[in-house]
Structure 1
Amino acid sequence: MSRRRIKLIVAFTVAAITAFSFHAVSAAGPLKVYILAGQSNMQGSAHQSTFSAMRDDPAAAELLDVILDQNGDPVVCDNAWIAYRTGGRDGETVRQGKVEIGYGFDDQRIGPEYGFGIFIDQAIDEPVLIIKTAWGGKSLAVDFRPPGAGPYQPSANEKERGNVPEVESVGHYYREMIRFVQSTLRDTEGLTKLVPTYDASQGYELAGFVWFQGWNDMCNRHHIDQYTENMIHFIRDVRQEFDTPTLPFIVGILGVYGTDPDSRKFDKGLPVSDFRKAQFAAVEQYDQKVAARYRGNVVAVDSGPYYELGLSDIYWKRRLTGNWKQRVNQGQMTPEQFQAECDRYGFGDGELTAQEQRTWDRCASNAEYHYLGSGKTFIRFGNALAEAMLQLEKQRPV
């Protein structure tokens, strides 16, 4: 059975739209395996209820036509599957099945894997498997620390306060990530059950790796200072672990506050720009610091252009005015002081307008550091990751 023809955003411009026909649901070659890893924003907070708001933006509306089927329901991929390991309050969990809604924080949410999987699936003939590992609140300096980075060297402040990480915790999630990928790929029977089109005689091809993480390192100056070197070690070590020296590798750049965080008037104390520079530097310096066989095929994909700054303004208006109202009620702030703060930030009388409330209700489903739980953000970023990955694969040495 062939799939219906759809529009697929391709090339590397938002406006470039090319017609692709769905490939037949049969194995045309080795199973294409993509690894996605990171922390909470790789897990994904975007609720499917926010998808419809994409119609309001002409630049995003065409993407909505791709991710919804003819009945207006979110697409379930025909020839792309996912095995997802994560952890939370309920402990470690593994979910697997076709790429669809539900591989984010819960069964109603998505992370970058949804858009990435849909667009990769549409662009290639081979069956696709995404192996995703993501745990919230984890750092590269400690939790995902790669072997090549050596033992963690605590800061003077950590030593003074006695909160030096336990030796066993250093690199724990790096090891768990590698273990889950390896165990998934070694389980031929499990692969066949998960991916019905999987042909064991043709095997699989490790086709690419996407890393999307950073908030916890960004909140720690000691971690920022070592992030560039740690990321370089991480890329090289992953390639060595899987014996794939030219594995296409994408570093997803932290984009909370957009591409120019210093221009924002909220949360000015966070060193987001410094951290972004450390991430970009890892990609720029990578080839200079690794052996020749591990060089090339590493790119940065910035999530900043997809961050909804207008929605962020509403978030901060709700958050700050809510706090001030509470302080007024508790007698810690006078009504005059409340209004003065509103005037300082341009918040009017402190109440959301009808349009602001409507925008918030339709577009947001989580906090700012989780990209406001915006489907528009996660779908567009997933598409950008897929485009970059497809380009890297074209450039990969044979």
Structure 2
Amino acid sequence: MMIPSRVLILSFTVTIATVVVSSTWAAPVKVFVLCGQSNMEGKGAVKHLEQLLADPKTAKTYAHLRSGDEWVERDDVFIKYNDDRGQGKLGLGYGTPTDRFGPELEFGHVVGNAFDQPILIVKCAWGGRALAVRFRPPSSGKGDYTQRDQKTKELVPLPEETYGEAYRDTIRIVKDSLKNIDKLVPNYQEDDGYELSGFVFFQGFNDIIDQKKMDEYGVNLANLIRDVRRDLDVPNLPFVIGELGQQGMEPEKRYAEKHFNFRKIQSDVSELPEFHGQVRFVKTSPYVISDGESFDGGYHYYGRADTFFHIGHAFGETMVELVKQQRQDSP
């Protein structure tokens, strides 16, 4: 979809409109974790979102994100991003950099509309993190990767503490957020309680570019799901695996086989018998627009707002299905 060059670009404003909901909420608070690397950080350009809202052909799809000249925040969906990237009502400003947004934006609208309870999103995302190394789950054990010593230029083993660094940070941030949920969800009362309701993992670029890391990706991803559930003490936690769909439905010919193989690895993990009905693989490649305007070079889904919006929507819809199915299956 091409965006006409003459389209009016609205000026970005930090003034925020608010979606007002009743001050009386159902309990408990539903908590969702969004985790991954740079695409989960969020690279959807606000500049492009403004173009989409200014274009009559696309404005309706994104209309709920804006009220007049102001960006919408929700009174029933809250977010905490890493230790230091901000917290508050769901709206713009939780991407990296802050004039970008990620899957959290539309994901939050979808789950917020689906459930009566207030929502807390805990977003844990860092660019350039491989599952084989920094996201490495404990059950995968220590890896055997190397780095080049800056002084000697020789290859040396990675420091042991590098393995699992992002995994440990994720678990810590989630636990800290739950412990201090009264500081993240306004008017939270201890009697309301909370439930950790789902986990989305959107990651893979730093593994697909290294064959050794790619070869162990399936084992590491399955271990990640098991270990997250164990360490957060939610044995059947619904889990969404976001496809690494960067190159779209038809990857470049020279990379196509690798991308299709990697996507199959991700999908196969969701089909393991032990994860039946609790883990889903969600495609992101259908939302890639490679022949339109790019806002991030050839990386990060071209930085397109429409792509990140639809990815967030797909993650949200799938998570709602998983949570409702689990509710139906519960005795």
One-letter amino acid of the counterpart of residue 377, structure 1: T
- Residues 1:390 and 2:320 are matched in the alignment: yes
* Distance of 2:73 and 2:20 partners within structure 1: 13
Determine helix, strand or coil for the equivalent of 2:88.
Answer: strand
- Code of the residue aligned with 1:248 in structure 2: it is P
Amino acid across the alignment from 2:271: E
Separation (CA, whole Å) in 2 of partners of 1:83 and 1:28: 21
Check if 1:96 corresponds to 2:26. Answer: no
Equivalent residue runs for 1:88-127 within 5 Å: 93-127=84-118
Secondary structure, aligned partner of 1:36: strand
1:8 corresponds in structure 2 to none
Structure 2 residue ranges without an equivalent (≥5): 1-18
Q: Is the contact between residue 135 and residue 166 of structure 2 (CA under 8 Å) also seen in structure 1? A: yes
**Aligned residue for 1:203?**
193
TM-score, normalised to structure 1, is 0.71
Counterparts of 1:114 and 1:274, CA distance in 2: 30
Which whole-Å deviations, capped at 9, do the CAs of 1:94-148 have from their partners, x for residues lacking one? 4111111110002221110011112211221111100011000000001100011
Runs of 4+ in 1 over 6 A off after TM superposition: none
**Amino acid corresponding to residue 274 of structure 1 in structure 2:** N
Of 50, 75, 84, which residue of structure 2 is paired with 1:78? 75
State the Cα distance separating 1:296 from its structure 2 match.
3.7
- 1:275 corresponds to 2:262: yes
* Cα distance change on mapping 1:237 and 1:43 into 2, 3 Å: same
**1:368 is the counterpart of 2:326:** no
Q: Tell me, yes or no, if the aligned pair for 2:290 and 2:302 is still in contact at 8 Å.
A: no
Of stretches 73-82 and 31-40 in structure 1, the one that deviates more from structure 2 is 73-82
Pairwise CA distance, 1:274: 2.2
Whole-Å Cα distance in 2 between the matches of residues 135 and 54 of structure 1? 28
Distance (Å, rounded) in 2 between the aligned partners of 1:209 and 1:269:
28
CA distance in 1, matches of 2:183, 2:164: 31
Matched, 1:26 2:28: no
As a proportion of its length, which structure holds more helix?
Answer: 1
Task: Please tell me whether Structure 1 or Structure 2 has the larger radius of gyration of its CA atoms.
Answer: 1
Residues in 2 aligned to 1:233 and 1:25: alpha-carbon distance in whole angstroms:
40
- Distance between the aligned counterparts of 1:22 and 1:76, measured in 2? 9
TM-score for both structures, normalised by structure 2? 0.85
Answer yes or no: is 1:181 the counterpart of 2:174.
Answer: yes
- Confirm or deny: 8 A CA contact 1:38 1:212 kept in the other structure: yes
* Secondary structure at the counterpart of residue 250 of structure 1: strand
Alpha-carbon contact 1:42-1:112 (below 8 Å) kept: yes
Measured against aligned partners, the alpha-carbon deviations of 1:278-334 in whole angstroms (never above 9, x if no partner) come to: 21121123x2xx5xxx654100111101111212xxxxxxxxxxxxxxxxxxxxxxx
Are 1:219 and 1:270, in contact at CA under 8 Å, matched by a contact in 2?
no
- Opposite residue 42 of structure 1, the aligned amino acid is M
- In structure 1, the partner of 2:119 is 128
Of all paired residues, the percent bearing the same amino acid is: 37
Q: Deviations over 1:206-261 (max 9, x none)?
A: 01000000100010000110001110000011111111111110000011111232
Q: Which amino acid aligns with 2:313?
A: N
Closer, same or farther: CA 105–152 of 1 in aligned 2, 3 Å: same
- Tell me the equivalent position of 2:271: 284
- CA shift, 1:154, in A, is 3.8
CA RMSD of aligned residues (A): 2.5
1:301 aligns with 2:298: no
Q: Does the 8 Å CA contact 2:197/2:323 hold for their aligned counterparts?
A: yes
Report how far residue 394 of structure 1 moved: 1.1
| Structure 1: 5+ residue stretches without partners | 1-20, 87-92, 312-359
Secondary structure in structure 1 of the residue aligned to 2:189: coil
The 1:44–1:163 alpha-carbon spacing in structure 2 relative to 1, beyond 3 Å, is farther
